[in-house]
Structure 1
Amino acid sequence: MRPLTYHVPKPMARAGGRNLLEHTISRLPSEVNELIIVVGYLAEQIMNHFGDEYEGRKVIYVRQKKLLGTAHALSLCEKHIRGRFLVLMGDDMYGDDDIANCLKHEWAWMVKKVRGKFTGGRIVYDADGHVTAVEEGTHDVAEGCVGTNLFVLGKEYFNYPMVPIKDGEEFGLPQTVALAAKDFTIKIIEANGWEQISDMNDLKHLHAQFTKGQ
């Protein structure tokens, strides 16, 4: 999202009068009573904006000094987590109903249905809608599932070793969650309101959605 992100961390990019992280936090149900935000690039902008408490929730910051993947980022939060928890990306948009549906389950993984050819991790699940595996590669399917990086997990997740990806340069959260799926029932929840913000066109589209009719 350059040149914007030369001066602003991506979660602080604005659309519809608020930054992406504000939009995300506003969609969390009241049962989420504490926030742990992993910061890195231009961390002070996020920390100064949200402070130690935001919208009635305590805020804890964890610094990821090296970009070693999403599983590594989550591992840095372990000491602050006491039980079941929600994981999501601060620079994507998730529907509040989707989040609430995931939280109805002890373990859950929000997915997006896709068709045709795609490259990446395909989430495999059984007839009851429970995750069985993640298959990496190029897929051409009549219907498949990809992850949205929104999870509801138990603290037992941290008992599993982080799975290396990208020739060992990073550690993948979806791949590590797939290990836990061998021992825990992880329900897939289909997303209705997920939007991945990857570039300026995505951000402009999101802004147009928020300002439509104003």
Structure 2
Amino acid sequence: MNLICLAAGKGSRFGDLGSYLQKCMYPIGLKPFLELSVRNLTQSGIDVSASSLTLVVGHYKEQIQSYFGDSYNGLKINYVVQDEALGTGHAILTAYQQAKLSGPCVVWLADGYVKSEQFASMLSHDMSVVQSVAADRDPAHAKIRVSLEGNRVTKAWEGDSDYVDIGLWKFSEAMVKRLTGRKEVEYRVMPNLQDAIADGESIGYLIEEEWLHLGGTEPTPEINTLRIAQRVRQLEGMDVNL
């Protein structure tokens, strides 16, 4: 299984912090935000000696590369540079092309906190294409809302349920090659998943209890970041009094 993390974003919704800090390197205690998910990945049951993680980097890439180096807890780390920000679908395809990957993959967005059990559930899911979703009624997230029926996603983009895509996916290699088929300002994952559904692709889903990510802007980027940091610190067993 290929493991890919998208960590190239410029943090345009991260307020002034994005001008000097790669968003995923925001400190939680004495660890960067991204490290917590990478550590959880290594504790999810994967064979780290037989696996590798490809980090797609760009904005302030040196912060990530200098911190993680070429391995973490026995997990080999490779880097692929996305020179031009053309969207999540483009970033995943770039990882495959530059790192010469083949076969299925599990992908997540670096500004999201992913628990070990989330990785484990995604890795073991019996479907080849899977979205992770969580309840979120924010009207600003209407485009990433999904529709669900039974154990399938019936609409991966602009759906009508209370659930939104939270940026943790499983893809077949065939699906990766489809992720730049449609351009919605950028080559985004969800519109291309929707096109695949329209063509008869079956997509599964996993429902998560909460969506913890640094990209929120309500009521402000700063307040959202502090809220997420406090919740993650709580999950990590740290002092939540920042």
In which range does the TM-score fall when normalised by the shorter chain?
0.7 to 0.9
Cα distance in 2 for partners of 1:116, 1:53 equals: 38
The alpha-carbon deviation at position 125 of structure 1 amounts to 2.6
Cα distance in 2 for partners of 1:145, 1:69 equals: 22
Is the Cα contact below 8 Å between 1:71 and 1:172 reproduced in 2?
yes
- Identity across matched positions, percent: 23
Is the Cα contact below 8 Å between 1:15 and 1:206 reproduced in 2?
no
Is the Cα contact below 8 Å between 1:40 and 1:65 reproduced in 2?
yes
| Aligned positions of 1:20-59 closer than 5 A | 20-28=33-41, 29-31=44-46, 33-59=51-77
Is the Cα contact below 8 Å between 1:98 and 1:192 reproduced in 2?
no
Q: Does 1:75 align with 2:75?
A: no
Indicate the residue corresponding to 2:195 in structure 1.
179
Q: Does 1:12 align with 2:25?
A: yes
| Aligned positions of 1:72-151 closer than 5 A | 72-79=90-97, 80=99, 81-105=101-125, 106-115=128-137, 117-118=139-140, 119-126=142-149, 128-136=150-158, 143-151=161-169
Q: Which has the higher strand share?
A: 1
Is the Cα contact below 8 Å between 1:95 and 1:194 reproduced in 2?
no
The alpha-carbon deviation at position 76 of structure 1 amounts to 0.3
Q: 1:82 to 1:14 in 2, by over 3 A?
A: same
Indicate the residue corresponding to 2:184 in structure 1.
165
Gaps of 5+ in 1: none
Match of 2:208 among 183, 188, 191: 191
Cα distance in 2 for partners of 1:161, 1:205 equals: 32
> Could you list the per-position Cα deviations for residues 114-140 of structure 1 after superposition, in whole angstroms to 9, with x for gaps in the alignment?
3474532321232x221222343xx8x
Q: 1:193 to 1:26 in 2, by over 3 A?
A: farther
Is the Cα contact below 8 Å between 1:15 and 1:204 reproduced in 2?
no
Is the Cα contact below 8 Å between 2:56 and 2:79 reproduced in 1?
yes
Root mean square deviation of aligned Cα: 2.3
Q: 1:17 to 1:157 in 2, by over 3 A?
A: same
AA of the residue aligned to 1:130: R
> Could you list the per-position Cα deviations for residues 145-204 of structure 1 after superposition, in whole angstroms to 9, with x for gaps in the alignment?
2100110111111332512003xxx11111122333444432111112430212332332
Q: Which has the higher helix share?
A: 2
The alpha-carbon deviation at position 66 of structure 1 amounts to 1.2
Aligned to 2:109, the other structure's residue is in SS state coil
TM-score (norm 2): 0.76
| Aligned positions of 1:61-72 closer than 5 A | 61-72=79-90
Is the Cα contact below 8 Å between 1:83 and 1:154 reproduced in 2?
yes
Cα distance in 1 for partners of 2:17, 2:117 equals: 30
> Could you list the per-position Cα deviations for residues 58-85 of structure 1 after superposition, in whole angstroms to 9, with x for gaps in the alignment?
1111111111111111110113322221
- The number of residues matched between the two structures is 206
Aligned to 2:132, the other structure's residue is in SS state strand
Is the Cα contact below 8 Å between 1:38 and 1:73 reproduced in 2?
yes
Cα distance in 2 for partners of 1:114, 1:2 equals: 22
Is the Cα contact below 8 Å between 1:148 and 1:194 reproduced in 2?
yes
